[in-house]
Amino acid sequence: MYQEINLDKIDINAEPPIEEPDRQYYYMAKCRKWVRKFERKNGRLPTAFIQTFGCQMNARDSEKLMGILENIGFEQSDSEEADFVLYNTCTVRENANNKVWGRLGYLNVYKKRHPHMKIALCGCMMQEPEVLEKLQKSYPFVNLVFGTHNIYKFAELLEISLTQQRMVIDIWKDTDKIVEDLPVERKYNFKSGVNIMFGCNNFCSYCIVPYVRGRERSRKPEDILLEIERLAADGVVEVMLLGQNVNSYGKTLNEPITFAELLKRIEKIEGIKRIRFMTSHPKDLSEELIEVMRNSKKICRHLHLPLQSGSSRILKEMNRQYDKEQYLSLVKKIREAVPGIALTTDIIVGFPGETEEDFLETMDVVKQVEYESAFTFIYSKRTGTPAAAKENQVPENAVKDRFQRLLKEVQRIAAQKADAYTGKTEPVLVEEVNEQDETLVTGRLSSNFIVHLPGTDEMIGKLVNVKLKECRGFYFYGEAEE
């Protein structure tokens, strides 16, 4: 939490402030009154559960939402059988939507037995008009619905929802507002995501994100630096800089600044030992950024560089604004400047009109680049995107065949790349006690590979030199060196 605000000293009988974030602290104080009434009636504090679907931007949003709930007085629950349940939704692929509908079916049954329960939905899926229509028609038991642009208003919307029985809906089409200084409940005390920008201006023809996240808007560099300085003072050693396209950071500011320059300033912050970022769009990854990565002692040797397709024809149809040759040339520059860097990517199989020849172009890029890992997806038609209107959709059997061939090749190469680390000693940031074996701890290399090693919870949050003794395909077993 950035400001230590005493909610009990806020006059909730006065008119709510107009300015943010003071307005939200006022509504947090009003919600706390509801919490105390609940506690007197039930002999316990109300519980809250948040389930996050989708990207790391959503995960960071959920930390902010839980920070507000805990500040109000809710206790965090690890079960959906809670007094307040919030789904932070994703809509990049249809499967993400279907998961939410399925969970709502379960909650409907639970709520009939516990009618006091409150259910809320937020995130990208809520920005789709057809989703909102379906919710109102078929899921009237949902109490609160809001989108991606007004997450900072959560306390205000929650107060209305807690005191009224109707479904509260607050969906904005867009916003240029960024509200700082609201509470955050971090999942880890030693690492943290940091939003540097919001929205997207790229309009890839298959992607719904620009329509649900809005136009690009960058946070001021001084606000980002202050947040990271405070995180470092609180024990954070690794930050993940988040944006739909971090390479275009700073372009919308009154005083423009490049992403590379922002990285140089973050590098100077004492206490921060590792810097990660995502996602990095190939079309505007600059020479300046490559140079900063080359010279940095803190930027992790890992770059996520989405390819999507290896076919220049399909890339043009996708509106990716680069071709196969430009992508391969960029990879060459990165590999030469930062030896040993791990490259990961996203690939879509079955984009409308994709031929076998187009697919083989993708396979060719995979073989040339030799990714350490790749997230492979079957094309998902998203209503409202240009690609969804294309008539030449690829037959399902062809898509599945290509997907399996791609997956097999990606896994073969990734296993070879990982095996090359065997026998080396590398620094590992220990993140948690291993879920399957409590005698082990689990951490990550700078290259983002997972490592398991003997240890205790006292090692969590520390950088440990580890001898990588055995490669198990996509992760390692190792031992800490003295």
What pTM was estimated for this model as a whole?
0.91
Q: Could you give phi then psi for residue 254, rounded to 5 degrees?
A: -60, -35
Q: Is the pLDDT of residue 293 over 70?
A: yes
Mean pLDDT of 289-303: 97
Tokens linked to 114: 């516990």
To the nearest 10°, the Cα dihedral for 158, 164, 165, 171? -50
The DSSP annotation for 77-145 comes to: -SSSSSSEEEEEE--SSHHHHHHHHHHHHHHHHHHHH-TT-EEEEEEGGGGSHHHHHHHHHH-TT--EE
pLDDT of 2 strictly over 70: no
The answer to whether 329 touches 367, Cβ cutoff 8 Å, is no
User: How much is the pLDDT for 177?
Assistant: 83
The DSSP-derived string for 300-326 is: -SEEE---B-S-HHHHHHHT-S--HHH
Average pLDDT over residues 161-171: 93
Q: How far, in Å, CA of 168 to CA of 157, rounded? A: 8
* DSSP tag of 292: H
Structure confidence at residue 347 (pLDDT): 98
- Across the strands, what pairs with 333? none
Residues 6+ apart with CB under 8 A from 71: 1, 7, 28, 183
Query: Got the DSSP string for 347-374?
Result: EEE--TT--HHHHHHHHHHHHHH--SEE
Distance between CA atoms of residues 190 and 46, nearest Å: 28
Dihedral of alpha carbons 176, 56, 309, 351, sign: negative
Percentage of the chain with pLDDT > 70?
99
pLDDT recorded at residue 1: 39
What pLDDT sits at residue 71? 95
Q: Are 479 and 466 in contact (CB under 8 A)?
A: yes
Measured CA to CA in angstroms, residue 174 lies from 94, 210, 216, 349 at distances of 23, 10, 10, 31
Tell me the pLDDT band of 361, cut-offs 50, 70 and 90.
very high
Q: What is the pLDDT of residues 172-221, one digit of tens each?
A: 988 888 888 889 999 999 999 999 999 999 999 999 989 999 999 999 99
How many residues belong to the chain? 482
Answer whether 308's CB lies under 8 Å from 348's CB: yes
- φ/ψ (deg, to 5) at 354: -65, 125
Query: Which DSSP letter does residue 17 get?
Result: P
Structure tokens at 215: 């136009």
Backbone angles phi, psi at 299, to 5 degrees: -70, 125
pLDDT tens column, 430-458: 999 999 999 999 999 999 999 999 999 99
Per the prediction, the chain carries an average pLDDT of 95
Helix count (H) and strand count (E) of the chain? 13, 19
Closest of 165, 117, 163, 159 to residue 30, by C-alpha? 159
Q: What is the pLDDT of residues 85-131, one digit of tens each?
A: 999 999 988 888 999 999 999 999 999 999 999 999 999 999 999 99
pLDDT, one tens digit per residue, over 384-425 is 899 998 989 999 999 999 999 999 999 999 999 999 999 999
